[in-house]
Structure formats: structure tokens, C-alpha cells
Homo-oligomer: A and B are copies of this chain.
Amino acid sequence: MRVAVVLYDQFTALDAVGPYEVLSRVPGAEVTFVAAQAGPVRTDTDRLALVADAALDELPDPDVILIPGGPGQLALMEDEPLLSWLRRADASSTWTTSVCTGSLLLAAAGLLDGRRATTHWLLLDDLERHGATAVRERVVVDGKVVTAAGVSAGIDMALTLAAELAGADVAQTAQLLLEYDPKPPFDAGSPATAPDALVAALREASRQLLAASDVQRA
């Protein structure tokens, strides 16, 4: 079972690394990090690069596709090489999955038309505009397409997926190995529970980022 984790410039590292830790512990799963070209790919903070071991062309038909999110997604919404790869890979995949704004790339490839899907809480309206039925849930399964909410939700998504791929014991063993028994010191991980002022500040920053991106495209 070949799992392709798709990297691109300015992706968010945890979107990819969270699910990788779970899925690489599923017996028989062979996880490969892929990108337009093999080699180091910089993340959104520019403080870290992850190495893609293969080019997209070298792995055209993985069994599981996983595409992370990150600000770099904005520049790829019309990137034909990536979107074509996603369409072709999805045509034969068993599971097509995303974390955070990775679902916007699946939507841009036309793979979420009419499907229930999710993304980072800041981008749910954007996902809806791109043809999906956007729902505010942590992990959304619609047929073979599994989408996760923002960044850290990829861990929950991968545990859900691991159970589908190999059973609940395998998923729970991965969870126990990763000691994923979360105890955040604050209850601020969702706009429903975070202080209103922090939610408003992030909404404004996101609005400005999207507006700047629209200006660049125009």
C-alpha cells in the first residue's frame, strides 16, 4: 500500500508530519514524500525544509493520497501539473485525503464537487466557493475522500484512516506509541472556545492575506 504525501513550497509541516507518524506505523504502508521535484521543500515559516524523496511523476498512482495545507496552497490553485497529478492519482486511489487547506487544492482539481468536506476554520467559506459542501467538523469522510480541519486535525484524520485501512487495533497502537493523549494547557483550539479578540484578529489577518493574493492574481 503506497501512501503519497504531497509537498509544495510553503506547506505547513505539521499538516504532513502528523498523519505521516500515524500512517507510517500501519503494517504494509509505504509512505513516500513527493513534490514537483525530489529534494528539500521549504515550509511556510522558512525555518524548516522537509525532503521529498520522489517527484510526482515517479508516483502517479498511489493507493492513498495525502495533501497538506499551508499558505503555499494559494499559489497552486491553477497549477496544472499539480492539479493534473491529483486528478490522475485520484482516478485510481483507494483513499484521497487532505489536511487544512489541502482540501482547497482537491477542490481546485474538481475532486470535491458536491462532496462534504472540511478545511481550516478560517477558510470554510472559501472551500464552499470552490464547489464543496463545506462542513465544520474535525474529520469528514465522504466516500473515499477524507478531509481534516486545520493543521493538527491531520492526526485525528490519520487515526480514522488507519482504522479503515488496517483495523482499530492498528490505529490504537499508533495512538499509544505516539502517546496521543492530548492535554492542551488552554481551550483555545477552536473559534467556538478561543477568546473572541483572538478569533477576530486571525479573521482580519486572513482577510488581508486573501485580499493580497487576489490583487496578485488580478
Say whether B179 contacts A159, CB under 8 Å.
Answer: no
Q: Which of B47, B155, B160, B173 contacts A201 (CB 8 A)?
A: B173
* Copy total for this chain: 2
Interface positions of A from 162 to 211, Cβ below 8 Å from B = 163, 168-169, 171-173, 175-186, 188-191, 193-195, 198-199, 201-202
Q: Point out the residues of chain B lying under 8 angstroms from A198, CB to CB.
A: 169, 172-173, 176
B175 lies within 8 A of A188 (CB): yes
Min CB distance A188 to B, Å, is: 4
Within the complex, the shortest CB–CB distance from A50 to chain B, in Å, comes to 6
Is A8 in the interface zone, CB < 8 Å from B? no
From the candidates B18, B21, B40, B180, name the one contacting A189 in the complex (CB within 8 A): B180
Across chains A and B, which 5 residue pairs bring their CB atoms closest together, nearest first? A150-B179, A181-B189, A172-B188, A182-B182, A49-B51
Interface residues of A (CB under 8 A from B): 12-14, 17-18, 20-21, 24, 30-33, 40, 45, 47-51, 53, 100, 120-121, 138-139, 149-153, 155-156, 159-160, 163, 168-169, 171-173, 175-186, 188-191, 193-195, 198-199, 201-202
